[in-house]
Each structure stands twice: as structure tokens, then as C-alpha cells.
Chains A and B, each alone.
Chain A
């Protein structure tokens, strides 16, 4: 029996979830013979980030007897319950893989206070990173995943999934031989998965699956053609606007999967090269997609990590992106001015066919999707007042739509791109590994030292570094890896607590995709479909058109951020 691809991914996903549920770390056993006296404290790393899962042990230095022990929580805090009787000399050991052990000797004054029944909060402990073999292995796996994705040698999901497996394999098989090979445990690995991101993407996929089958894109594109009356100076910006607005609410790949074949049909009708329309469209998709929280996976990642809401993106990023879009229209017009001049008259046969197809095929579903979509938009905007996470809004919207439409459940399950969800989960584990071993901290420290306390310099460096790196590296893993770095810079750079650097990362990672054909999945999809129509978009061609578009749109967006912050 041959399993279909979605079925395989569902099985893998279920397996992952089952292992996660079965392998949960229970709370430490309650300690017996303890008093009501506690030693409190907090553990941080060199970037002043809380360190969780540090083993904190209270020891009698003379006998080496363990008197109490605890693990730090996700906020780095710990609480050690003292026994009913304890000696006058005490020390605390702090141990955690990938950090140098640290010992804190408790002063006699503090011990005296404890013996008199007072709980004490100790000063913060800073743990120093320790580079072990695990550091190099995790770093190597991460780079290997990036290379495998960039070269297309493996499917994105398979590359990330294999990377996650390799890390866990090394961790579990290597640790018995050498503790230096320990990266993290399975529960620690899965703790890095951002479920808000996974469920938000899943919910939006279900909504998109309904919308894409209504014929709305055909209808919009045909009417764009009709309104333009063959005047290219009208048709081009209208098609760019349709693509851009769609990308702000749907993912860019879906938008271009739907828009490219229709655009080719319009171009053939007008007897022009489809590339004149397709290249500006894909640029528009990459640019306007960044204007909302749900427009790109990178924004979903950034929003979830940086706790940036839908409204934050609308107020802090959208105006700059709209300005960049206007400049992009002007650039596209200038680039293709020779081909765009004059009025194009279409072939009557093809025009008739275009008209036949430019109809809404499922008006009932479109109306329902419209109502639900409007409701979701309101929930995204006003939901933050009741701390409603975007993932919850997406799931409620998707469920409401499915209950209202009552589609075939199997069909809807098939419409969810499980490969993408597994990709995200696996990627979180791979990025979690380099975070765990301290590679991200090292990069963050290095960038922090380069930038110093200059916010303007930080904004420029983060934006352009992200933009140029996104030209060659898949922007989703890049963004996932950069988030802790931005988190650190947000703490140490004066003025960055406005979260402006997250917006810089958003702009750089998404708009950088316009710089090269491999910079964004939407570019590759567009090129693939255009090639099927006999119009090849070469790497050189895309680079020539894309780099100026990147420079223009990133510059304008960055200027907006300077003004705004």
C-alpha cells in the first residue's frame, strides 16, 4: 500500500505529538523534611537572558551532602526549600549543560538569617557559556540544513526534519560516551517549538483553501484587465495591487501560485511577455506581504517571539511598506517602460476565453469566507485587548468557516500543507539546538559589540544584514535564528525597547527576498510556472531586476522606521 504524502506527514506529526505527550517531564518530586524557609534566586546568561533547567543544588561543603535541589523555570528563577536543620556552612552548585559550573558560597550572615526562619533572595547568578563538541555539531547541522534548502538538494521539510533527527540522535546516542555530546533532551527540544506559529499557519491554511477555490482571483484579474482597457499603465499597478493585498492576508506562495497562471493568460491575450507583469507582481507580493502579521511566515515568527500584535504591525510597519510599494510601482514602470507604452489590443479568441474564466465559481463559499474573513480581521485587530493570540483567532475562524461550509473533511485535511507545518516544527528544534549550545548567544554578543549603544547603527545593520543574507539563505530559518539575537539587542541597545529592531528584521528578511530568484519561495514558484509557459526567468534576469527593487523598497521602509521611532 502506498501512502499519500499528506498521510505520511500526518502520521509523522501524530508520532511527534504522541512522543511529546508521553515524555513530559514531571515536576520534581516534593522534598520531604523541608521547612518553610526558602532561598530564592535567578540565573541569567551573558546576554542577561534567563536560563531555564539549571540544576540548583544546596550542598553541605563539609560532607558534600545534598540538602535541597531545584531546577530553574523558564524565567530563570529557582526556589530552594531548606531542610528543618542545616549546618552553618552552605554552598549552592549551579550546573547545566553548555555552561560552566558555578558555585556560590552562602555567607554566615545569610545562613544566620535562614536559621532564624527568614527566607532570602540571593543576587542574580550569571552563567558563562562553555563551548563543547555539541556546540560544533549543532552549528554544523544548522548550516547543513541551510545549504540543503538553498541548493534544493532536499525538500525544505526533509532537510529540517533530518536536521532535527540528527541533533536528537547525537544527543541521545552520544551522551553515554561523552557528556560533551549532549545537546538537549527531547522534551527540551520540543519546548522550542512555537505552537502559536504552527496553529496560526494551520488555521490560515484552512481559510485559504476555501478562498482559493471560489474563482476570486480569476474574477479580480479579469476585471483588472477590463478596467485597464488594454492600457498597461493602469493594468500593471492594478495587478500589483491585487497581488500585494492578497499577499497581506494570504501567504505569498499561495498568492503567486494563483496569480501567475492567470497573469500569463492576460499577457498572452495582450500578446506581451508575461514577465513584464509577473516580475512586478512577485515584487509586490514580497513587499506588501510584510505589512501585516499574517502576511508572511517571517512576520508570524517575529510577532510570536517579540510579542508584536497585528495592530503593532499595522501602525508601525504598514505606512512605510505602502510608501515602498508606491516606489515599487514607479520602479516597475521605469524598468519596463518600453514594453508598457501604448494601448494593447487583445486577441478576440483569447479575450473571449478570459472573459469566460473571469467568473466567481462558488459565490456562496466566497460570501461565507468574506464574512468570516471580516470577523477574523476584527478579532486580529481588537483581540489583543483580551489577550487573544492570533493562532486562536485563526483556529476559531477556520473552524467557523468549516462548520458553516461543511466541506469534505478529508479534502480539508488534505488542503492543510502538513509538510510546511512539519518544516516549522523541525526548524524550531534545529534553531533551538544552536540556541541551546550558545551559538546564537555568541553571534548576539558579537553583533552587540559591533553595534555598541547606537540605535541608528543597529537598525541599519539589522535591516541590511537581513536583506542581503535573505537573498542567499532561506528567510524562514534565517529569521528563526535571528530572533534571539534581536531579543538580546532589544535589551542592550538604548531605545530599542520599542521593538524597532524586530521591524528591521521583518523588512530585511522579507524584502531581501526580492534580491534574488532563490530569495523567496514565491519567486521560485513564479519562475516555475512562467517556465511552464515557455518564459524563463533566469537567475541573472531576476538579479538584474530584483537588486534595485530591493534597495529602493528597503531604503524607503527603513526611512519610515527612522521617522516612526
Chain B
């Protein structure tokens, strides 16, 4: 697969990552693959019987987030596709890279003030190293947007 992998979570924090991938796609004329990973870890402390059903609902929500990003890319004249996967974000991004060998991977750089950020700066570097181990993609970082505050 030739293209740009852009893993997104949705919301304002993903905008810089989406914009960066659109700019890169315009420059390189490659397709963007927006990736949304369904992760249900937050259900660990509540209900367990609903996991299957809620997984489907969140996957559908992810498809909406991807569709929204694709819409944005297409308005800028860039071809974009959306992919959803289930599991842990880091593992799924690495697995996707191994399976599809993208040319570029765009990762959001964390903000220090954000609570529970998935990727701290240290983890981000080791994440990038893991990606480089499984594919020859160029890993690019982009600053994340501010988390939503009223």
C-alpha cells in the first residue's frame, strides 16, 4: 500500500494531525488512510456483558469520525479512506504498518497538560521506533490541538 497513515481519535485535538496529512497528501499526491481504533478499556470498571454490542456502536461512531475526516480531505482535493480496527491503539497502528507498509505515518505529539494522554513524549519515540522496525515509513510528528475546554 502506498500512502499516508493518519491515526485519529476525533475531536479538536486531531485537527492538526488531519491537516498535516492533507498537506502532505497534496504535496506527495498520495492517498490518506485515516485509522480509528476501537478501544474498550474504559468499560473495564463497569459492565462486561455489553462489550460486544458497545464495540459495534463505537465502531460506528469511529466510522463517522473517519467519514468526517475523509470529507474534510476530499474538500481539499485529496483522496482519503477510512479504516477501523479493534484493540490497543499503539499495537493496531504497528500491525497496520506491518501489513500495509505505508510511506508516511503521522503521529500527534502530546501536550503536557493533557490528562491521561495516550502517548507521552517518551512513549511516542518508542512508538515511532516500533513502526520503523516493521516498515520503512517516514514517521512525522505534529503538535496536537488543545483539548476542549469551555
Interface of A toward B, CB cutoff 8 Å: 5-6, 152, 155-156, 205, 209, 212-213, 253-254, 257-258, 261-262, 264-265, 268-269, 273, 275, 347, 349-350, 353, 357, 414-420, 521, 524-525, 528-529, 531-536, 538, 541, 544
Contact for A350 among B9, B68, B149, CB less than 8 A: B68
Of all chain B residues, the one with the shortest Cβ separation from A415 is B49
Question: Which of B54-62, B96-104, B122-130, B134-142 lies on the face that meets chain A?
Answer: B54-62
Question: Are B115 and A536 closer than 8 Å at their CB atoms?
Answer: yes
Cα distance A273–B61 when bound, in Å? 14
Question: Are B71 and A275 closer than 8 Å at their CB atoms?
Answer: no
Given A261-B60, A528-B42; 17 other pairs, CB 8 A cutoff: A152-B45, A155-B45, A254-B47, A254-B50, A257-B47, A261-B58, A264-B61, A414-B49, A416-B49, A417-B47, A420-B47, A521-B46, A525-B46, A532-B62, A533-B11, A534-B10, A544-B150
Q: What residues of A have a CB within 8 angstroms of the CB of B9 in the complex? A: 532-534
At the interface, yes or no: B77 with Cβ under 8 Å from chain A? no
A534 to chain B, nearest CB (A): 2
B36-87 contacts to A (CB < 8 Å): 38-39, 42-50, 53-54, 57-58, 60-65, 67-68, 70-71
The 16 listed contacts between A and B (C-beta, < 8 Å) are: A6-B48, A6-B49, A152-B45, A156-B46, A257-B53, A268-B65, A349-B70, A350-B68, A353-B64, A529-B42, A529-B61, A532-B61, A532-B62, A533-B61, A535-B148, A538-B149
Question: Are A536 and B147 closer than 8 Å at their CB atoms?
Answer: yes
Greatest chain B CB density within 10 A among A155, A264, A419 is at A264
Classify the interface of chain A: helix, strand, loop or mixed. Answer: helix
Cα distance A415–B53 when bound, in Å? 10
Cα distance A166–B129 when bound, in Å? 46
Cα distance A538–B61 when bound, in Å? 21
Question: Are B50 and A417 closer than 8 Å at their CB atoms?
Answer: yes
Cα distance A535–B150 when bound, in Å? 11
Question: Are B148 and A536 closer than 8 Å at their CB atoms?
Answer: yes
How many interface residues does B have (CB within 8 Å)? 38
Question: Are A417 and B49 closer than 8 Å at their CB atoms?
Answer: yes
Of all chain B residues, the one with the shortest Cβ separation from A264 is B61
Contact for A524 among B8, B46, B64, B68, CB less than 8 A: B46
Q: What residues of A have a CB within 8 angstroms of the CB of B12 in the complex? A: 534
Classify the interface of chain B: helix, strand, loop or mixed. Answer: helix
A283 to chain B, nearest CB (A): 15
Cα distance A320–B150 when bound, in Å? 31
At the interface, yes or no: B31 with Cβ under 8 Å from chain A? no
Cα distance A532–B14 when bound, in Å? 12
Question: Are B50 and A257 closer than 8 Å at their CB atoms?
Answer: yes
Contact for B71 among A347, A357, A535, CB less than 8 A: A347
At the interface, yes or no: B24 with Cβ under 8 Å from chain A? no
Q: What residues of B have a CB within 8 angstroms of the CB of A531 in the complex? A: 42
At the interface, yes or no: B19 with Cβ under 8 Å from chain A? no
Q: What residues of A have a CB within 8 angstroms of the CB of B10 in the complex? A: 268, 532-535
B128 to chain A, nearest CB (A): 21
Greatest chain A CB density within 10 A among B42, B48, B115 is at B48
Known: A273-B148, A353-B67. A532 touches B46 (CB 8 A): no
Cα distance A253–B47 when bound, in Å? 8
Known: A261-B57, A275-B148. A349 touches B71 (CB 8 A): yes
Cα distance A262–B13 when bound, in Å? 21
Question: Are B42 and A417 closer than 8 Å at their CB atoms?
Answer: no
Question: Are A264 and B64 closer than 8 Å at their CB atoms?
Answer: yes
Q: What residues of A have a CB within 8 angstroms of the CB of B62 in the complex? A: 532
Q: What residues of A have a CB within 8 angstroms of the CB of B47 in the complex? A: 253-254, 257, 417, 419-420
Question: Are B68 and A268 closer than 8 Å at their CB atoms?
Answer: yes
Of all chain B residues, the one with the shortest Cβ separation from A273 is B148
Q: What residues of B have a CB within 8 angstroms of the CB of A535 in the complex? A: 10-11, 148
Known: A268-B68, A417-B47, A541-B149. A357 touches B57 (CB 8 A): no
Cα distance A544–B46 when bound, in Å? 24
Q: What residues of B have a CB within 8 angstroms of the CB of A420 in the complex? A: 47
Cα distance A202–B53 when bound, in Å? 18
Q: What residues of A have a CB within 8 angstroms of the CB of B70 in the complex? A: 349
Of all chain A residues, the one with the shortest Cβ separation from B114 is A536
Question: Are A533 and B50 closer than 8 Å at their CB atoms?
Answer: no
Question: Are B65 and A534 closer than 8 Å at their CB atoms?
Answer: yes
B29 to chain A, nearest CB (A): 23
Question: Are B65 and A533 closer than 8 Å at their CB atoms?
Answer: yes
Question: Are B67 and A349 closer than 8 Å at their CB atoms?
Answer: yes
Greatest chain B CB density within 10 A among A268, A529, A532 is at A532
Question: Are A265 and B64 closer than 8 Å at their CB atoms?
Answer: yes
A212 to chain B, nearest CB (A): 6
Greatest chain B CB density within 10 A among A155, A262, A538, A541 is at A538
Greatest chain B CB density within 10 A among A269, A415, A529 is at A529
Question: Are A156 and B54 closer than 8 Å at their CB atoms?
Answer: no
Q: What residues of B have a CB within 8 angstroms of the CB of A416 in the complex? A: 49
Question: Are B64 and A268 closer than 8 Å at their CB atoms?
Answer: yes
Known: A254-B50, A350-B71, A538-B115. A532 touches B64 (CB 8 A): no
A311 to chain B, nearest CB (A): 30
Q: What residues of B have a CB within 8 angstroms of the CB of A350 in the complex? A: 64, 67-68, 71
B148 to chain A, nearest CB (A): 6
Q: What residues of B have a CB within 8 angstroms of the CB of A273 in the complex? A: 148
Of all chain A residues, the one with the shortest Cβ separation from B15 is A534
Cα distance A533–B12 when bound, in Å? 10
Known: A357-B60, A536-B115. A417 touches B48 (CB 8 A): yes
Cα distance A417–B49 when bound, in Å? 5
Of all chain A residues, the one with the shortest Cβ separation from B148 is A535
Contact for B61 among A152, A261, A415, A521, CB less than 8 A: A261
Cα distance A5–B114 when bound, in Å? 33
Contact for A532 among B13, B58, B68, CB less than 8 A: B58
Question: Are A156 and B48 closer than 8 Å at their CB atoms?
Answer: no
Q: What residues of B have a CB within 8 angstroms of the CB of A525 in the complex? A: 42-43, 46
Cα distance A420–B48 when bound, in Å? 9
Known: A6-B49, A265-B64, A417-B49. A534 touches B13 (CB 8 A): yes
